[in-house]
């Protein structure tokens, strides 16, 4: 078990380093940091001094090491566009994104899994077919379209929900939350559905496919041959076995919710990391882009690790060694 | 232990056999799939022949007049029969713009799928057949990439290239960049699947038989393994076509995709978004409808292909 | 009705409707089983025997359904019962054992959990009592340290042990009737007999009725009291096992029994079973003097020793690591040496995991040995890995594989499959000549030239092996390696293929290396035999000597485990050709 965790940790560090490398390359070769930091009428000599100060003339390896060191302390320099420390910009916005992502993830899971199980178990019922059609539509609509549609329907036509922003938030230490105010909650509804819909349909289809696959296996047949009632067969045997592969995929999907938040935040003008990132891309604001990259990578890696450990805990085949021999001829 | 006794079947031409096959049967007994196929075909047709059948050439600046902007669809008050679905903020005919946009979406979609498949299948074949350290390295790269969603990678690649060219990119380059970024973000899926299939095929005895015959590895991979691993690739390709179209639309919507001089449907939606609150709904609505229907049709076809190729799910 | 009678089936008919018409899987089947009796149901694949088992349990795969006849258990009709009542019956009155113990058990639940849930359902006991009974049950089926092992997961048991667990599960709710569907087919021979003994003793102790479904005549001979022979959905013969096997009346039964390879005597050829269809077309012998296959030059004619392996070992890496000390290996072949003379048939026999297939693949060139040499006609092939010299010798060594369903490329036409080797090695002057040779080869393996345009999936298992043989002959080999070529085929087809191989070997003056786990087959086919176990070659001897006076303990053990088939009728020619 320890070996397993250590290996995953090493893997995580490796990934982070690669990401850091990519971010660093961005800094080095895309655009000129000096140009981004100074005005147009700064003299050549001053630019040279700035270069020296920023350590841009040092060997690349040294610069990379410095970059990693600073990144580990969450120091990404100054935003080109806003001329303020990148970290400061992020700290304000992380809670917004994380809160939204979490709510969407919960939405996707708590709606997707039951629907998937239901349509897997009762393939031919009309509810299952309805759920499937909805899923199909759900996957076909680009997330931003869903957002626009919802805004139009609920904000413009019906006028019951806000079309942008977070509403009133409450500050708890470094974290600002919208869950504790009515306007905050109302603001969360549409973005959550928008962000979660795509993921929900994916989860639903996945769970359904897994259930169908498992229901054809020999041990299910054997369980029925022993007279076990459908309820036990479905929930005790089939469900448990279906969920194992679903967990890994779901974990990855949850990670991607954070990235998909970019779109949702843009549509709803949600003051989160994603919105910041988009603005940075449009303005080629490298420090912000790099910081976002590293931060998101970190989140992904953490989520992946948790998922791996979960997988390990649930599937006994990974924990205990198999017995050898005795297999068939041929 | 399988020795099915077969009734000898009379030989027939391949067309007759195709019509009689289970594949075709599942096709025409599913009305949904037939409709989906027809719709997709119609869209393809429009896309290919857009230039000839679109009522207006939206790129010819001479024909566009700002006086015609923001006109509603022809059947509403204030509409102009020349512009069936209305016009956008520049005075461009929406119907034509959608047709050209459709062409663009399909072009980007197919091109990126083709690219991604080429890279992914090659990597998968090499990785699966040769194994060893090469396999490890390639799959590590694919794994790392897979943990990041395609949209993010596409954004990054897109953003970086824009940065490199300092935003002076021409339209063609722009399209190229979008295609490449989508391709880069989606190849790992092909690679993983092809690798898995390759490893399965490699352990099959017909591959061992040709090894014994003495064929060199490259010939074995191309002539024997490749045709047998293409099935799942087709399934992924159809799913990815829909995803590619969505990503392109999203990129354009966010403002980092195709520039507005050659609008794709995503761009049109973005433009229209600004007008939603003032009641000018058609600039967003019609492109959105077209986009949704296109992706839906592609997805349904993809579903059907998947079900047909996987007999276990019946 | 006899008080002892447990199950009675009258005129059962099972149909599978489909788009292409209705397929009748079982037709007018009569069967009865008494308490304490083991009744065999034997037939080749597709005969319908598994369907009978499924029908009794009410587990027919949709769209299959019972369309005629009656099934009575203890006098009560069960075929027309509704789903809920049927469910109560399963497990409580009738239990079933499937073929593959690996997939029959839920990998995520412990053995105890699976046993307890079944018992609590049927026996109305509480958890504690069920747990105790679970441990007792494991003990009865012969699992050591049952108290400990009951809490383990299925994958922690070896194949034979797992099947015992499956048997325990089927028995835990005290059913009256057990249906065992090929319970030992997926197991090694040594384990097979243990499981069969277990079934026999449990049957006697508990007065169970057992229906034993199998394709293996040896199993029938050793285990069953009565037997019914099925062919194409019908029972063609029924009666006491001893009588049916010794003096079969129906032609199919006679043909089937004749085709079984005998361990006690070597025949020149297997009697051809032409009652069964798909027997291959008549073929004329190949006259090597005029044939393309005979066109080899003087350097290819060999006398004396043809191939030799010296001190060959093969290690497979189980776990890779950057640190050499942490790598683990699996030694598949351990210092094996033997030689094969030109024109002889050398057999390699052993259980699964003995390394015999690996040796075959080393000789064929698929694996490169970790140590040792392989000499062919005096040339050391291991020294030159991919060099041209190896290539030209390589084509003289060809191989036929075990699984007819994966040994042919499903996307290539048969004629291309066979033509590819001769074109690659430039053994023909043109595509036209290749085409002719292919047609000719197809005739000679008994398929006929029209087979060329078809795809592999259009052929049955036996026919596909013929295609494989034709492909192997396409490089004009001198040494033919046959790796379990008939293990996946029905007994009757096996006889035909083995005859074909014998004929070809004689006509073409081929040298053969014949790999098998099946001793009777080895006895029929080989001149000399080597016995392998755990990667080591234990002994080598001429066939008759090995069978009459085995030297090594393991060899003697294998001989002991061979099915006793004296009860069977002596082999005789059945049908048109002999």
What confidence tens digit (pLDDT) does each residue in B197-217 have? 898 888 888 999 998 888 888
Among C409, C424, C484, most B C-beta atoms within 10 A, so best to mutate, is: C409
Q: What's the pLDDT score for residue B93? A: 78
C39 three-class SS: strand
Using CA atoms of A223, A226, A230, A234 in order, give the dihedral in degrees to the nearest 10: -20
The b/e string for C184-195 (b: 16+ C-beta within 10 A; e otherwise) is: bbbbbbebbbbb
Beta-carbon neighbour count of residue A190 at 10 Å?
Answer: 24
- The span from the CA of A271 to the CA of A262, in Å, is 10
**Contact residues on chain C for B214, CB-CB shorter than 8 A:** 365, 391, 394-395, 421, 424-425, 475
Q: What's the pLDDT score for residue C576? A: 34
Within 237-276 of A, beta carbons closer than 8 Å to C belong to 237, 240-241, 244
Q: What is the mean pLDDT of residues C469-489?
A: 90
Closest chain B C-alpha to C465 CA, distance in angstroms: 11
Structure tokens given for C379:
């040339």
Q: What's the pLDDT score for residue C215? A: 87
Q: Which residue has the higher pLDDT, B65 or C65?
A: C65
Structure tokens given for C147:
């108290």
Q: What's the pLDDT score for residue C465? A: 92
What confidence tens digit (pLDDT) does each residue in A246-256 have? 777 777 777 77
C310 three-class SS: strand
Q: Which residue has the higher pLDDT, B55 or A184?
A: A184
Structure tokens given for B281:
């709904």
Q: What's the pLDDT score for residue C527? A: 92
Res. C159: pLDDT tops 70: yes
Which residues neighbour C417 within 8 Å (Cβ) at sequence distance 6 or greater?
C408, C409, C456, C467, C471
Binned at pLDDT 50, 70 and 90, residue B5 comes out as very low
- Tell me if chain A has a CB within 8 Å of the CB of B244: no
| Helix axes B94-130 and B171-202, enclosed angle (nearest 10) | 40
Q: What's the pLDDT score for residue B120? A: 93
Q: What is the mean pLDDT of chain A?
A: 78
- What ipTM was assigned to the predicted interfaces of this complex? 0.77
- The span from the CA of C134 to the CA of C400, in Å, is 47
Which residues neighbour B50 within 8 Å (Cβ) at sequence distance 6 or greater?
B96, B99, B100, B102, B103
Q: For residue B93, what are the β-bridge partners?
A: B87
Q: Which residue has the higher pLDDT, B28 or C561?
A: C561
End-to-end CA distance of chain C: 46
Of A229, A323, A329, the CB nearest to C351: A329
Contact A209 B313 (CB under 8 A): yes
Contact A320 C153 (CB under 8 A): yes
Which residues neighbour C471 within 8 Å (Cβ) at sequence distance 6 or greater?
B209, C408, C417, C418, C420, C421
Structure tokens given for B182:
């989508």
DSSP B199-255: HHHHTSHHHHHHHHHT--HHHIIIIIIHHHHHHHHHHHHHHHHHHHHHHHHHHHHHT
Res. B314: pLDDT tops 70: no
Q: What's the pLDDT score for residue C320? A: 61
- The span from the CA of C93 to the CA of C178, in Å, is 9
B55 three-class SS: coil
Structure tokens given for C341:
């003379």
Contact B208 C401 (CB under 8 A): yes
Among B9, B24, B205, B223, most C C-beta atoms within 10 A, so best to mutate, is: B205
- The span from the CA of B206 to the CA of C488, in Å, is 16
**Contact residues on chain A for B153, CB-CB shorter than 8 A:** none
- The span from the CA of A238 to the CA of B308, in Å, is 24
- Tell me if chain A has a CB within 8 Å of the CB of C100: yes
- Residue in chain C nearest B217 by alpha carbon: C386
The b/e string for A249-259 (b: 16+ C-beta within 10 A; e otherwise) is: ebbbbbbbbbb
- The span from the CA of C213 to the CA of C201, in Å, is 18
Q: What's the pLDDT score for residue C409? A: 92
- The span from the CA of B109 to the CA of C404, in Å, is 41
- Tell me if chain A has a CB within 8 Å of the CB of C189: yes
DSSP run (H or E) holding C253: helix C251-258
Contact C410 B228 (CB under 8 A): yes
Res. B286: pLDDT tops 90: no
- The span from the CA of C40 to the CA of C220, in Å, is 6
The Cβ-side half-sphere exposure at C308, using a 13 Å CA radius, reads 12
Tell me which of B132-141, C354-363, C404-413 is least confident: B132-141
Q: What's the pLDDT score for residue B60? A: 60
Q: Which of A172-186, B24-38, B258-272, C408-422 has the highest mean pLDDT?
A: C408-422
φ, ψ for residue A165 (rounded to 5)? 80, 175
Binned at pLDDT 50, 70 and 90, residue A1 comes out as low
Binned at pLDDT 50, 70 and 90, residue C482 comes out as very high
What confidence tens digit (pLDDT) does each residue in C253-308 have? 888 887 788 777 777 777 665 555 554 555 666 666 667 776 766 666 677 778 88
Chains that touch B (3 or more CB pairs under 8 A): A, C
- Residue in chain A nearest C489 by alpha carbon: A330
**Strand order in C371-376's β-sheet?**
C328-341, C305-319, C371-376, C379-380
Contact C401 B210 (CB under 8 A): no
Res. C129: pLDDT tops 60: yes
Q: What's the pLDDT score for residue C395? A: 82
Inter-residue contact C287 to C270 (CB < 8 Å): no
The distance of Cα B143 from the centroid of its chain, to the nearest Å, equals 22
Residue closest to C347 by CA, chosen among C192, C193, C494, C545? C545
Structure tokens given for A216:
């054809």
Q: What is the mean pLDDT of residues B243-249?
A: 88
Pairing of strands C21-34, C38-42: unpaired
pTM to 2 decimal places: 0.78
Closest chain B C-alpha to A158 CA, distance in angstroms: 13
Binned at pLDDT 50, 70 and 90, residue B67 comes out as low
Q: What's the pLDDT score for residue C443? A: 86
Of B4, B22, B211, the CB nearest to C366: B211
Within 8-47 of A, beta carbons closer than 8 Å to B belong to 15, 18, 26, 29-31
| Interface contacts (A, B; CB < 8 Å) | 110
- The span from the CA of C476 to the CA of C473, in Å, is 5
Of A140, A216, A252, the CB nearest to B292: A140
Closest chain A C-alpha to B147 CA, distance in angstroms: 6
Inter-residue contact C400 to C516 (CB < 8 Å): no
A219 three-class SS: helix
Q: Which residue has the higher pLDDT, B280 or B116?
A: B116
- Tell me if chain A has a CB within 8 Å of the CB of C170: yes
- The span from the CA of C367 to the CA of B199, in Å, is 16
Inter-residue contact C45 to C215 (CB < 8 Å): yes
| Helix axes A286-314 and A240-268, enclosed angle (nearest 10) | 160
The b/e string for C238-251 (b: 16+ C-beta within 10 A; e otherwise) is: bbebeebbeebebe
Is cis: bond before C63, omega within 30 of 0? Answer: yes
- The span from the CA of B72 to the CA of B83, in Å, is 8
| Distances from the Cα of B62 to the Cα of B66, B262, B283, angstroms | 11, 15, 21
Binned at pLDDT 50, 70 and 90, residue C1 comes out as very low
Using CA atoms of B180, B185, B188, B191 in order, give the dihedral in degrees to the nearest 10: -20
Q: What's the pLDDT score for residue B236? A: 82
Q: What is the mean pLDDT of residues A233-245?
A: 80
- The span from the CA of B241 to the CA of B251, in Å, is 15
Q: How many residues does chain B have?
A: 314
Res. C400: pLDDT tops 90: yes
Q: What is the mean pLDDT of residues C552-575?
A: 74
End-to-end CA distance of chain B: 24
| Distances from the Cα of C41 to the Cα of C79, C252, C556, angstroms | 19, 15, 31
Using CA atoms of A33, A36, A40, A41 in order, give the dihedral in degrees to the nearest 10: -60
How would you write C184-215 as a 3-class SS string? CCCCCHHHHHHHHHHHHHHHHHHCCEEEEEEC
Contact A328 C59 (CB under 8 A): no
């Amino acid at each position: 078990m320890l070996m397993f965790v250590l290996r995953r940790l090493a893997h995580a560090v490796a990934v982070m380093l690669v990401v850091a490398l990519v971010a660093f390359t961005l800094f080095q070769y895309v655009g000129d940091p000096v140009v981004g930091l100074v005005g147009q009428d700064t003299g050549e000599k001053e630019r040279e001094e700035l270069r020296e100060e920023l350590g841009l003339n040092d060997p690349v390896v040294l610069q990379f090491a410095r970059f990693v060191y600073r990144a580990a302390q969450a120091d990404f320099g100054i935003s080109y566009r806003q001329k303020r420390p990148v970290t400061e910009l992020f700290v304000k916005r992380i809670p917004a994104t994380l809160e939204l992502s979490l709510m969407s993830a919960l939405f996707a899971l708590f709606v997707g899994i039951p629907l998937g199980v239901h349509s897997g178990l009762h393939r031919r019922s009309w509810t299952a077919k309805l759920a499937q059609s909805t899923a199909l539509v759900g996957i076909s609509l680009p997330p931003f379209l869903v957002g626009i549609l919802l805004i139009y329907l609920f904000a413009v036509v019906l006028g019951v929900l806000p079309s942008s922003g977070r509403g009133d938030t409450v500050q708890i230490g470094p974290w600002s939350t919208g869950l504790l105010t009515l306007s905050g909650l109302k603001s969360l509804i549409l973005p959550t559905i928008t962000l979660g819909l795509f993921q929900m349909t994916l989860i639903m289809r996945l769970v359904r496919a897994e259930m169908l696959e498992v229901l054809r296996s020999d041990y299910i047949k054997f369980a029925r041959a022993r007279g076990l009632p459908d309820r036990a067969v479905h929930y005790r045997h089939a469900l448990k076995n279906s969920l194992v592969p679903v967990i890994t995929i779901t974990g990855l999907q949850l990670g991607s919710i954070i990235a998909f938040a970019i779109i949702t935040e843009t549509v709803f003008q949600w003051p989160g990391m994603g919105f910041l990132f988009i603005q940075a891309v449009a303005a080629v604001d490298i420090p912000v882009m790099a910081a976002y990259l590293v931060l998101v990578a970190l989140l992904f890696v953490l989520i992946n690790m948790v998922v791996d450990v979960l997988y390990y805990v649930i599937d006994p085949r990974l924990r205990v060694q198999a017995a050898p021999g005795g297999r068939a001829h041929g | 232990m399988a020795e099915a006794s077969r009734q000898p079947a009379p030989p027939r031409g391949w067309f007759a056999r195709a019509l009689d096959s289970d594949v075709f049967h599942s096709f025409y007994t599913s009305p949904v799939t037939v409709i989906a196929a027809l719709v997709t075909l119609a869209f393809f047709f429009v896309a290919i022949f857009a230039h000839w059948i679109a009522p207006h050439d939206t790129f010819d600046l001479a024909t566009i007049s700002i006086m015609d902007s923001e006109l509603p669809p022809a059947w509403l008050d204030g509409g102009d029969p020349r512009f069936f679905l209305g016009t956008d903020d520049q005075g461009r005919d929406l119907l034509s713009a959608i047709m050209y946009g459709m062409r663009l979406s399909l072009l980007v979609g197919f091109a990126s799928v083709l690219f991604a498949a080429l890279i992914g299948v090659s990597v998968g074949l090499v990785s699966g057949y040769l194994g060893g350290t090469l396999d490890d390295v390639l799959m590590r790269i694919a794994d790392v990439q897979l943990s990041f969603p395609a949209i993010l990678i596409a954004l990054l690649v897109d953003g970086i290239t824009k940065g490199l060219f300092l935003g002076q990119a021409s339209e063609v380059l722009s399209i190229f960049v979008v295609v490449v970024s989508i391709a880069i973000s989606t190849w790992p899926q092909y690679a993983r699947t092809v690798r898995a299939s390759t490893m399965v095929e490699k352990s099959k005895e017909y591959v061992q038989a040709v090894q014994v015959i003495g064929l060199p590895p490259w010939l074995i991979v191309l002539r024997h393994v490749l045709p047998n691993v293409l099935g799942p690739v087709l399934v992924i390709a159809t799913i990815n076509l829909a995803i590619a179209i969505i990503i392109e639309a999203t990129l354009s919507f966010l403002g980092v995709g195709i520039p507005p001089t050659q609008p794709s449907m995503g761009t049109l939606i973005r433009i229209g978004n600004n007008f939603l609150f003032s009641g000018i709904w058609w600039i967003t609505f019609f492109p959105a409808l077209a986009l949704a229907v296109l992706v839906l049709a592609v997805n349904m076809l993809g579903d059907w292909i998947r079900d047909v190729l996987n007999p276990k799910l019946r | 009705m006899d008080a002892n009678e447990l199950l009675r089936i009258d005129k059962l008919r099972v149909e599978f409707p489909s788009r292409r018409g209705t397929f009748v899987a079982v037709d007018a089947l009569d069967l009865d089983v008494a308490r304490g009796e083991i009744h065999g149901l034997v037939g080749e694949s597709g005969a319908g025997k598994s369907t009978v088992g499924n029908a009794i349990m009410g587990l027919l795969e949709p769209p299959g359904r019972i369309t005629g006849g009656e099934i009575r258990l203890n006098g009560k009709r069960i075929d027309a019962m509704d789903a809920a009542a049927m469910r109560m019956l399963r497990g409580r009155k009738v239990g079933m054992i499937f073929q593959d113990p690996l997939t029959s058990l839920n990998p995520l639940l412990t053995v105890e959990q699976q046993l307890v849930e079944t018992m609590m359902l049927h026996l109305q006991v509480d958890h504690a009592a069920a747990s105790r009974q679970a441990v007792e049950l494991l003990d009865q089926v012969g699992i050591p340290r049952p108290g400990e092992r009951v809490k383990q997961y299925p994958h922690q048991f070896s194949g034979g042990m797992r099947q015992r667990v499956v048997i325990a599960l089927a028995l835990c709710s005290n059913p009256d009737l057990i249906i065992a569907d090929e319970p030992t087919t997926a197991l090694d021979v040594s384990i097979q007999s243990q499981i069969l003994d277990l079934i026999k003793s449990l049957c006697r102790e508990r007065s169970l009725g057992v229906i034993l479904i199998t394709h293996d005549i040896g199993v029938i001979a050793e285990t069953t009291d009565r037997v019914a022979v099925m062919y194409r959905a019908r029972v063609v013969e029924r009666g006491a096992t001893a009588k049916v096997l010794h003096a079969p009346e129906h032609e199919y039964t006679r043909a089937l029994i004749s085709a079984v390879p005998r361990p006690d005597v070597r025949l020149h050829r297997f009697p051809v079973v032409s009652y069964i269809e798909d027997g291959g077309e008549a073929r004329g012998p190949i006259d090597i003097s005029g044939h393309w296959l005979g066109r080899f030059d003087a350097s290819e004619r060999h006398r004396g020793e043809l191939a030799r392996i010296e001190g060959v070992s093969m290690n497979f890496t189980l776990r890779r690591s950057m640190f050499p000390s942490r790598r683990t290996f699996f030694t598949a072949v351990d210092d094996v040496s033997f030689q094969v003379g030109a024109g002889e048939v050398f057999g390699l026999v052993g259980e699964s995991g003995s390394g015999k297939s690996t040796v075959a693949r080393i000789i064929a060139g698929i694996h490169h040995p970790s140590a040792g040499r392989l000499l062919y006609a005096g040339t050391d092939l291991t020294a030159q890995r991919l060099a041209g010299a190896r290539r030209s010798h390589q084509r003289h060594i060809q191989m036929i594989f075990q699984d007819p369903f994966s040994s042919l490329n499903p996307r290539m036409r048969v004629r291309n499959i066979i033509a590819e080797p001769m074109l690659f090695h430039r053994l023909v002057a043109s595509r036209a000549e290749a085409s002719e040779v292919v047609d000719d080869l197809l005739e000679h393996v008994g398929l006929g030239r029209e087979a060329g345009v078809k795809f592999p999936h259009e052929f049955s298992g036996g026919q596909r092996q013929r295609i494989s043989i034709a492909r192997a002959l396409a490089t004009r080999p001198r040494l033919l390696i046959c790796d379990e070529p008939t293990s996946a085929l029905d007994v009757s087809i096996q006889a035909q293929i083995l005859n074909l191989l014998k004929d070809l070997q004689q006509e073409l003056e081929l040298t053969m290396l014949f790999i098998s786990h099946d001793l009777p087959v080895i006895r029929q086919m080989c001149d000399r035999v080597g016995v392998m176990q755990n990667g080591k070659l234990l002994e080598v001897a001429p066939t008759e000597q090995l069978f009459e006076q085995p030297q090594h303990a393991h060899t003697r053990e294998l001989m002991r485990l061979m099915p006793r088939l004296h009860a069977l009728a002596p082999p005789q020619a059945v049908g048109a050709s002999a």
